Amino acid sequence: MSSVPMEVVFAASLESESNSEDRVGLFSYVNGQAKVPSTWEKGRPKGSKNKAKSVSCEKKQPRKIYPEFVNLTIQRQEIDRDSRAIIRRYAKLGQVHQQQDSTMPQPSVSKRTVAVTAEQVLKDLARINLLQITGVDPFETSPIALEPYMHDLLFHFCTTLWKNIYSLEGLVGCNPIAEYWLPIAFNDPALLHSFIGCADVYVSGYSTITDASRGLKHLQAAISIVNQRIMEHTSVKSLGTLAVVAGIALLEKGAGNHDHWRVHMQGLKQLVELHGGVECLSSEPLLLNKIYSADLYGSFTTGKTPYFRREIPVHFNTLSGVSFRSDGFNIVQKQIGLDNTIRDCVHQLEDALVFWSEFNDPCLGGKKDATAKVARVRHLLLNVQYTLATAIYQKKQHFDLRDQIHEFCRITLILYSCTLLRERAPSSLVTQQICGAFQHVFNSLLRPLYSAAPTSWPLPLPLDFCVWATFLATMTVLPTESNTKDWLLATFSRLAFSKYADIHGRRDLRSRLEQYLWVPSIHGPGVTALEETIKWSKEGHRR
C-alpha cells in the first residue's frame, strides 16, 4: 500500500481560562477549515474583444393583438356571455386555420418563374391579395355585403371628404359623418349605399352621375330601396330615408340635372310632410341642414322660391334700428337706406363673424364649447340664405333703380355666405349661376359709367362697396369659368385703379375692403392672390 501524503489540521482551544492548569495537555480536536473552490465567474476569458449584446439590440417579441368587441349600432347594448364565447370560438378557429395555412409547405419555385420581371410580380401580387380578401365584414354585421373597394371609399369619405361637406365643423375638429351619420348608415342599407355612391362621385368629380360606374350602381341601389319602402309603407319615416333623398338631390343639382333634382325635392317634401313638417324635425339639426342645403342650392341656381319655408325671426337690432358694427355698411345705409330684409341679413352675418374672432383669438378661449358655436353659426347662415333666396327683387312689377341696387346687394351677400361655407357639394353650378347673375346686374348698374365719363361716381352705392362685392365674386368664381373670371378681374381693375377710387397701394385697398364684412383667415389670402394677379395684368397691359 503506497503512502499518500496527508495533511492533518488540528484546532486547539482551551475551554476555559480558569482551570487551564488542571487540563494541561488535554485538547479538543475539531475539523479544520474546508477548502471550497472559489466561485466561477461566467463570461469570456480575459483579453476577448467580443462585447455582450445590449438589451436594446435584442429583438422584441411582437405584442399579441387580442380581438375586441365593436358595436356598430346606434344603440348602446351589452354582449352577453354566451355571445362572447361564440365569437371567441369562431375567431380562434379562424386563427388556427390561418396558422395552418401559413405553415403548409410551399411548392418549390422553378428557375423560369424566378426570371419574371419585378413589374409583373407586383401586378400578380396585387391581384392575388385581392382574391384572398373575400370581405371586410367577417361577422356579417353590415346591412349590405361590403367589399374592399367599398371599405376604401367609406374610409376616404369619413376621413377626408367630410371636410368638403362640413367646412364649419372641420374648423373645430367635429366630424358629423363619423360621429352621427355612419352609425345610422350601418343600420340602413339605403343610406350606406348612398354614402358609397357619394364618395365615388366626389372622388371622380361628378362624372359618375352620367357614366355607368360603381358610384351610379350604388346610387341606383339606394333609390330602389327607398322606392320599395314607399311602396310597402315601411321605414318611410326613418332618418335614413330622408337623408338618402336629400343627399341624392344635392348630387343631381351639382351635376346640373335640374329635372332630377326637382323630382327628388318633390318626393322629399312629401316625406317631410309625413313627419309633420320641418318643425317636427327640429330635434335633428344635421338632417335639417342636409334638407335645407339641397333646397337652397337648387333655389340659387334656378332663381325660384325654395320648396321649404323656414321661420326666421327678425333680428333685434333691425327692430330697434341699431347701427351696423361695420363702418362700410353704415355708409351704405346713410346713402341709400337699406330695406329691412338686407339690414336683417347684415346683422345676422355680423353675429356670425363673432365666432371667427373668438376662435382665432387664443386669449378669448374660443375653442370652449366650439361645437355649439359652430351650430349657432350654421343656423345664422341658413337664416340669411333662406331670407336672400325668398327676397327676389327682380320679380317686382315696378323694378326701379332702388330695387336694382337691392338686388345687387342680395347677390353680393349670397356670394359672401358662399365664401364663409366653402362647401364643395354642388358649388360648381351654384357659383356659375350666381356669378352670372352678378355680372348681369352689375353691368346694368355700370352702364352709365361705360356710356359716358362723369366727373364723379355715378352710382348711389359707395365705390368701395362695389370693389368689395367684385372681390367676393372673384373668390367664388371657378377657374374653369374663364370668361366670367376675366370680366370680374377687368372690372375689379377698372374700379380699383379708377380716378373715382383714389386707392394708394395695397394697404389702402385692404383697409377699404376690411370696412365691410371681413374674416382675415378666409378673405386675407384671397385678396393677396388677387393683388398679385391684378399687378401682373397691369404690368402686362403697360407693356
Q: Which of 18-22, 323-327, 337-341, 455-459 has the lowest mean pLDDT?
A: 18-22
pLDDT at 303: 79
For residues 442 and 405, what is the distance between their CA atoms, to the nearest angstrom?
A: 9
Say if residues 457 and 505 touch (Cβ distance below 8 Å): no
Kindly indicate the confidence band of residue 237, based on its pLDDT and cuts at 50, 70 and 90. Answer: confident
For residues 130 and 490, which has the higher predicted lDDT (pLDDT)?
A: 490
- Residue 80 is predicted with a pLDDT of 77
482 and 337 assigned to the same domain:
yes
Would you say residue 32 lies in a domain? no
Residue 276 maps to a domain? yes
Q: Which domain holds residue 538?
A: 316-542
* Residue 69 within any structural domain of the chain: no
d(C-alpha 540, C-alpha 169), whole Å: 42
Please check the confidence at residue 540 and state whether its pLDDT lies above 70.
no
- Say if residue 475's pLDDT is above 80: yes
Same domain? 537 vs 437: yes
* Same domain, yes or no: 332 and 286: no
- Predicted confidence at residue 355, as pLDDT, reads 83
For the chain, percent of residues with pLDDT exceeding 90: 25
Q: Is pLDDT above 70 for 1?
A: no
pTM over 0.75: no
User: Is the domain of 294 the same as that of 391?
Assistant: no
Q: Indicate whether 516 belongs to any domain.
A: yes
The sign of the torsion formed by the CA atoms of 120, 121, 125, 126 equals negative
Residues 508 and 464 in one domain: yes
pLDDT of residue 301: 82
- Asked if residue 162 lies in contact with residue 200, where contact means CB atoms within 8 angstroms, the answer is no
**Residue 250 within any structural domain of the chain:** yes
| Domain limit, last residue, from 258, 274, 302 | 302
Q: Assign 133 a pLDDT band (cuts: 50, 70, 90).
A: very low
Cα→Cα distances 226→185, 284, 307, 392, Å: 14, 20, 21, 35
Helices (H), 391-446: 401-421, 427-445
Total count of domains within the chain:
2
Residue-level pLDDT at 69: 59
Report whether pLDDT(255) > 50. yes
Comparing 368 with 91, the larger pLDDT belongs to 91
pLDDT score of 212: 46
For residue 298, pLDDT beyond 70: yes
Burial of 158 (0-12, 13-18, 19+ CB in 10 A): middle
Does the pLDDT at position 289 exceed 80?
yes
Higher-confidence position of 442 and 46: 442
Q: How far out from the chain centre does Cα 166 lie?
A: 6
Instruction: Indicate if 279 and 372 belong to the same structural domain.
Output: no
| 435, part of any domain | yes
Q: Clarify whether residues 429 and 500 are in a common domain.
A: yes
Q: How confident is the model at residue 468 (pLDDT cuts 50, 70, 90)?
A: very high
501 shares a domain with 358: yes
pLDDT for residue 163 is more than 70: yes
The reported pLDDT for the residue numbered 397 is 61
Contacts of 163 (CB under 8 A, 6+ apart): 170
Residue-wise DSSP of 55-113? GGGSPPPPPPPPP-----SSS-----HHHHHHHHHHHHHHHHHHHHHHHSPPPPPPHHH
Is 136 exposed, middle or buried, given 0-12, 13-18 or 19+ CB atoms closer than 10 A? Answer: middle
Residue type, 462: P
Identify whether the C-beta of residue 52 lies closer than 8 Å to the C-beta of residue 162.
no
Q: Which residue has the higher pLDDT, 96 or 518?
A: 518
Are 327 and 464 members of one domain? yes
Instruction: Report the alpha-carbon distance of residue 178 to residue 286 in Å, rounded.
Output: 13
Residue 90: all three cell numbers together: 369562431
Average pLDDT over residues 323-337: 91
Domain limit, last residue, from 259, 278, 302: 302
With respect to residue 233, please indicate whether it lies within any of the assigned structural domains.
yes
What is the number of other CB atoms lying within 10 angstroms of the CB of residue 297?
25
Q: Are residues 346 and 421 in the same domain?
A: yes
